[in-house]
Structure formats: C-alpha cells, structure tokens
Amino acid sequence: MIKINNLKKYYGKHRGIENVSFEIKEGEILGLIGPNGAGKTTTIRILTGFLKPDNGEALIDGKKMPYDVDLVKENIGYIPGEVNFYGDMKISEFLEFNRSFYKNIDREYEKEIIELLGIEVNKKFKALSLGNKKKVAILQALVHKPKYLILDEPTNGLDPLVQQKFYDLIKRHKEMGAVILFSSHILSEVEKLCDAFAMIKDGSVVKSGTIEGLKDISKKIINVYGLSFIEDLKKYKNSKNKNTTYTFEIKSAELKIFLKDLVKTEFSDIEIKNPALEDIFLELYK
C-alpha cells in the first residue's frame, strides 16, 4: 500500500506542496491529476526517495520515505517526468547494466516489452527521440515486475498507438496486484485507466474519490454538424453556432445516453473534444 498523509514541502520560500494526502491499495491505479506546477512531481520525488518533506509522511509498504528507501527500492518501478540515462550508452548495454541491479529479471518479459514497444536496442540513448527515450524508461520501470509503480506523466511524448500499448502493459501490472500511482494532466487518460483519482491544485489535494466521481466532474465538448435538432436533445446544455451546427457540453458520465439520443436524428458529422484540465479547474473553482 502507498499512503500519503498531510505531506508538505517548501523549496526555500517557494511552495512545492502544501497539504497532500491519498492512499493506493493493491491492484489499484490512482490518477494524480493537476495542472503544471500543482505539485505532482514534488509529491513523487518524496515518494521515490529524492526529497525530504517538511511535514507529514509518505509510506510505501509501511516504510517511511525517503528515509527507508533502501528497504523498498527493489520493489519500485519509476518513470520520471524527464528521462535522462547515460547518453553514450547503447540501449542493449543499458539493459545489461539495469539487470545487475535486480535479482531474477525475466528475460522473456524484457524481450516482450522491447518487441511490443519497438525499442531500438542498438542505438545510443542520446540518439533517440523523446518518445523513444520514454519507451526505454517504461521498459526499465516495468521489467523487474515491481510491486509499486510510480509514473510521472508517463505518456508525455508517446504517440497514440504506443500510448495504448503502454495502457495495456499497466493493466497487466494492475492484474498482478501492483500499486500504481499515475500522474497526469490529461483527464481523459485518467478516466480510461485509473480506479481512483486525487486532484491537486496549488499544492493541495482539493478533490479525490473513485473514477466514477471524476466522470461526474469532467465533461466532453461535442460539435455536431448538419444536425436536425429534436426535442430529446433539449435537455443537454447546447449552443447553436451556424444554421445546423450545435455545440453540446456533456458530462463524461452521460456520454453514452447522449449518443443514444443523438442517433435518433440526422447529422452529417460529429467531433468530441476533451476540455483542457485548466478549463475544468476554472469552472470548479470560479
């Protein structure tokens, strides 16, 4: 289990985090959501043993971080927000180096991830693109099948196809019983993947709960073109842009029922957008 209680950290006079609390159980993925500068990375740096908090505690398997990091680090897989390995090392050399840190790395699993993500093992790290560097970080974090996965904006830089493969890998680790912290500023991916969420704003957790609760807060912006407007659509918040173009604002939890109502009538095209997290925060706290 991961347990964070009233965690606080200042960088000199600058606020890192003010008051962060949440917990994650076995087989659970928690999405830590917040806009830039909210305090996600600061929380994660304490949890991974790199920073000391000013107040509160961060526990992994009952061990106090960062002080007891040596007792749990073999069981942690970590994807940092900014990936930086030794630039002149070939990926194949890096993997050999990585194997020396962990007992019993499953070579079959290593091979499987390399093939699944299309990792170019004969290239030097510095020659890889941002997305390809991220793939190496994913491999390094997952290959020893750790009990605790701490992922700091892991999909940043990945193309949609690789993102999907990554989600599938994470789901497999969840099924193995892993405890997973997934930080993101993209609400839709948290909705897709996570069981629970904690929303962090200006250094404090302002909302948390199950993913169903998040779907009640989040919404989709839907443009419908060439629409013959009918009575059944009146109940949804909408505005008319041109003669037959309408924009609807639908709670994520109501998306299916809205689409059922929509197909009762005629339209020529549809576009579903996820509003930026900042816009949702603005609306929640205006």
The contact set with ligand ATP (CB under 6 A) reads 11, 14, 16, 34, 36-42, 81, 185
Closest to ligand ATP by CB, 37 vs 209, is 37
Closest distance to ligand ATP from the beta carbon of 278 (Å) = 11
Q: Is 256 helix (H, G, I), strand (E, B) or coil?
A: helix
Closest distance to ligand ATP from the beta carbon of 151 (Å) = 12
Closest distance to ligand ATP from the beta carbon of 275 (Å) = 17
**CA 214 to chain centroid:** 14
- DSSP state for residue 223 in the 8-state scheme: E
Closest distance to ligand ATP from the beta carbon of 201 (Å) = 10
Name the residue among 173, 276, 179, 270 with its Cα closest to residue 227. Answer: 270
Closest to ligand ATP by CB, 14 vs 242, is 14
User: Could you write out the DSSP letters of every residue in 44-62?
Assistant: HHHHTTS---SEEEEEETT
Closest to ligand ATP by CB, 38 vs 91, is 38
Closest to ligand ATP by CB, 11 vs 285, is 11
Closest to ligand ATP by CB, 40 vs 173, is 40
Closest to ligand ATP by CB, 179 vs 200, is 200
Q: Report the side by side order of strands in the sheet with 269-273.
A: 237-242, 245-251, 219-225, 269-273
Closest distance to ligand ATP from the beta carbon of 12 (Å) = 7
- Under a CB-based contact definition with an 8 Å cutoff, are residues 166 and 136 in contact? no
In sequence order, the 6+-apart residues with CB closer than 8 A to the CB of 9 are 16, 17, 42, 46, 51, 52, 53, 54
Closest distance to ligand ATP from the beta carbon of 251 (Å) = 25
- DSSP state for residue 183 in the 8-state scheme: E
Name the residue among 49, 101, 94 with its Cα closest to residue 74. Answer: 101
The DSSP bridge partners found for residue 77 are 149
